Chains A and B, each alone.
Chain A
Amino acid sequence: NAGVTQTPKFRILKIGQSMTLQCTQDMNHNYMYWYRQDPGMGLKLIYYSVGAGITDKGEVPNGYNVSRSTTEDFPLRLELAAPSQTSVYFCASCWGGLSTDTQYFGPGTRLTVL
């Protein structure tokens, strides 16, 4: 299993541009999450999904959108990039919603908005 994969690894955007961060997992996990990590800080939850077709906001959803058309994929969309969205983005997945279900993280996408 490849686990959780994310593309691209790095990206530089200009203010106002848009992009989609890709996340795929091959573990047949139902739950998927997007986090952002600002320098020197912990991760903050942007959006999450409990299954295909079901998504909900996390702590910091403004400026982002998500979709979940398949179990495997959970893309994160930035429509109008702003400097405040410069961060490292991590996708994670787990089997279910129990607190004991371990979340597995991807390697991250480093995004810079200039």
Chain B
Amino acid sequence: GESVGLHLPTLSVQEGDNSIINCAYSNSASDYFIWYKQESGKGPQFIIDIRSNMDKRQGQRVTVLLNKTVKHLSLQIAATQPGDSAVYFCAENGGGYNKLIFGAGTRLAVHP
């Protein structure tokens, strides 16, 4: 899920498969990380978060993994559904005043 400029990387999966979306973050001092989902024409929507003192957190059908050694986050979506089709962004928070730094995003396309 790294930035490649104007063209978002796309992950294509079959409905029912598991999806893994990756993100590299930039600031080793960031203490909080969030995954957002953005559907076409809408604003980002919170999915799940994780503090820097954790390496895994699970939600409903989603799991976030954090590897601070290599500054890497991943979002796992179980049993991917057509409604999961969207652009997914990771964001890091470490600059005070809850200012977020967003990654470039990955487009998830779910095929029936």
Interface residues of A (CB under 8 A from B): 4, 31, 33, 35, 39-45, 48, 50, 56, 58, 90, 92, 94, 96-108
Q: Which residue of B lies closest to A41 (CB)?
A: B104
- B103 and A96 form a contact (CB under 8 A): no
Supposing A40-B5, A41-B104 touch, asked if A58 and B32 sit within 8 A by C-beta, the answer is: no
- A103 and B98 form a contact (CB under 8 A): yes
Is residue B61 contacting chain A, with contact meaning CB distance below 8 A? no
Bound Cα distance A105, B36 (Å): 10
- B7 and A90 form a contact (CB under 8 A): no
Q: Which residue of B lies closest to A92 (CB)?
A: B43
- A97 and B8 form a contact (CB under 8 A): no
Is residue B6 contacting chain A, with contact meaning CB distance below 8 A? yes
Interface residues of B (CB under 8 A from A): 3, 5-8, 31-32, 34, 41-46, 49, 51, 89, 91, 93-94, 96-105
Bound Cα distance A39, B3 (Å): 12
- B43 and A108 form a contact (CB under 8 A): yes
Q: Which residue of B lies closest to A3 (CB)?
A: B43
Bound Cα distance A39, B44 (Å): 15
B interface majority secondary structure: loop
List 9 A-B pairs, minimum CB-CB distance, nearest first: A105-B43, A42-B102, A99-B32, A99-B93, A40-B6, A43-B102, A97-B97, A97-B98, A42-B104
Bound Cα distance A43, B44 (Å): 10
- A31 and B8 form a contact (CB under 8 A): no
Q: Which residue of B lies closest to A58 (CB)?
A: B99
Closest chain-B Cβ to A69's Cβ sits at a distance in Å of: 20
- A107 and B97 form a contact (CB under 8 A): no
Q: Which residue of B lies closest to A94 (CB)?
A: B98
Contacts of A94 on B, CB cut-off 8 Å?
Answer: 98
Bound Cα distance A102, B49 (Å): 9
Contacts of B7 on A, CB cut-off 8 Å?
Answer: 40
Q: Which residue of A lies closest to B6 (CB)?
A: A40
Contacts of A56 on B, CB cut-off 8 Å?
Answer: 97
- B49 and A100 form a contact (CB under 8 A): yes
